[in-house]
Chain A
Amino acid sequence: MTVQIGGGEPLARLAARRIRNIACEPLEPAVRHKAALCLLDFLGCCVAGRRMPWAPALLRFADDRAGTPEAYHWSLGRRVSAGMAAFGNGVLGHSIIRDDMHVASGSHIGVLILPAAIALAERDDLPGRALLAGIVAGYEMAGRLGTAVRGSGAFNRHFRPSGIVGAFGAAAAACAASQLDEDRTVHALGFGANFACGLNEWAWSGGQELFAHAGMAAQSGLNAFDLACSGMQSSETILEGADGVFAAYGCGSDAARIFASSLSEDYCILGVRHKPNAGCNFIQTPIAAALEAAKRLNSPNKIDEIVIRTFGEAQCYPGCDYTGPFTSLQQSKMSLQYGVSAALLWGRVDENAYARLADPVLNALVSRCRIELDAGFAEAFPARQGAAIDVRLHDGSRTVATLDDVPWLDDTAVEARFLAEMADYAGAAAANRILEAAHGLNDLESSRDLFALFPSRTPEPVDASRSDTTPRRPTTDGL
């Protein structure tokens, strides 16, 4: 695939050509396979997300605003407007913080672009091949933009990378899936860039807005696409312009060059990775190393000190170097100290472990953690994300476990996880049919044949003990 770079053409136009290229040329089998795998991993996350404490609130929100039934909503188990489906499935899919990872862009692209692509495909009855092209293009544009922003040497870290790239990528997905012409694709990208959202304060405060980042990105990407389809026009220089994306986020001067040159590289989606555990990307290797160390530790209660060796990006990412107090899953799933301590104490880091926020033994271990930066790990990043856990006991003995990268799940493991989670929700037969349909998407005349397999069901009654006490409608006294 080649895209002409340079010649003074705006970056959004070059990007639009790459999108058109993906939309109109046959996709290689490996790319199609990866797109299906990403879709399955996302659907598994949606199912798992239904168990989170805020799921009832999401259910209420969606139920109130369902609109015209156009696309399947995994929380409601029925069809709602495409925009609401994109939003709700984005929130749900991100809810366990286990969705896929594109390291170079620092973004969870799947939950940003997949909800938009599948909502659009169902709404507009697109062929399976079109949906695949949309997925590939969405990963491509979100990944390329994020890599340029992060790889430029500087950017404003108060903005969340997934938020910066999300609507841009989702708009790209919609354009490719619909084979939109070049001009309108440029405008859709411009609106998508303008619809970016997401700050990083949640990582410190434990707010739930990070989940909305994903939903907003997907919904806004669809809005961007629909606006462009209707004829609204945006700034063609939205990326490189004087007040464009790279300037606004304080990116280094290399961002435009990185973006342009990356458009002729291999498919971005092939670099997407699948997490072994829920939680931030940067805590994956430390947790895996700690789980290794835990196998060799007899007495976690005799630990004197835990040294977590990592690299600067992991330590300085919002919420990662945090020792509490822990009041939410969002905090425990970001904290290096929490994840490592849980692994050493319980030998597992699952939803139950993340939820034991006030456990005194766990918090005692957290307080004994110390982070050390390792030059070797720093040099290897972002290609590899190494970590070492050095556990020092009262008797002077040490247990050290080192991993040079995240033990990302391979294809088989991703599918096995999907089948287990989907079978638990919809039955083994349905899970298998969805898996087969996802891998056969390229041959489906209508992607609705896949969506028809999604289970229609009435949501379980809201468990009052797990829900918040927010009234269905705000009261009108005061504000």
Chain B
Amino acid sequence: MDGGALSLSRQAIRHASTLADRGADVTEVDSRVAACMLDFLSGCLTARATPWAPTLLRHDRMRAGPGRAFHFGLQRKGASDTAAFGNAVLGHGLIREDVHLGSGSHIGGIVIPAMLALAERDGLSGQDLIRGIVAGYEAAARPGAAAAEDRASFLGAPK
């Protein structure tokens, strides 16, 4: 990877793109993505029993509209942004979803609902979905880890 005058954003895009392309062909990455996705989905479904789920569903029902993205709370397809929002809120509902320790972030709960909604909306292939998820984890983890590396200012562990 060339550095030099390249902005960090551009370097990150190239890095994530390379890894994502490679990842889609690597069985271990493939199965890891599947595991993250399954973990997210089970979290979504279980969180439907939380006390605040009905309020979320009230909110999302007003805004679901027509669309192609599945909302696990409403159990139907609707607008992709509402599905991404609602599934992310649900997926974080148990505070049990995956954690990337280096960045102190719950990346799956953010990246996966966005990619699921986008993949359904735009009819992406399974391989594209995997690529997107891998790149999303990568892009979220790296700056998070860089920020967290300065331990003097890293005040808390993920909650």
Contacts and interface: CB of A to CB of B under 8 A. Distances in A.
A-B interaction: yes
B59 A226 contact: yes
B59 A65 contact: no
A231 B65 contact: no
Contacts of B13: 479
Contacts of B20: 478-479
A373 interface: no
A66 to B, nearest CB: 10
Interface in A257-300: none
Contacts of B124: 476
Interface string A313-351: 000000000000000000000000000000000000000
Contacts of B81: 65
Contacts, number: 40
Contacts of A229: 59
Contacts of B17: 478-479
Interface residues of A, number: 16
A473 B119 CA distance: 12
Interface stretch (B38-46, B50-58, B97-105, B142-150): B50-58
B65 A67 contact: yes
User: Which secondary structure characterizes the binding site on chain B?
Assistant: helix
A232 B56 CA distance: 7
A65 B54 CA distance: 26
A68 interface: yes
Nearest to A230: B59
Select the residue from A67, A231, A232, A479 with max chain B CB neighbours within 10 A: A479
Nearest to B89: A232
Interface string B131-159: 11001000000000000000000000000
A226 B122 CA distance: 27
A478 B14 CA distance: 9
Given A65-B81, A81-B63, A476-B124, 16 more contacts: A67-B79, A68-B65, A81-B65, A226-B62, A226-B63, A227-B59, A230-B59, A232-B55, A233-B52, A473-B122, A476-B125, A476-B128, A478-B17, A478-B21, A479-B17, A479-B131
5 contacts: A230-B56, A230-B62, A478-B21, A479-B16, A479-B135
Interface of A: 65, 67-68, 81, 83, 226-227, 229-233, 473, 476, 478-479
List of 9 A-B pairs having minimum Cβ-Cβ separation, nearest first: A231-B55, A230-B59, A230-B58, A479-B17, A230-B55, A478-B17, A232-B55, A476-B128, A67-B65
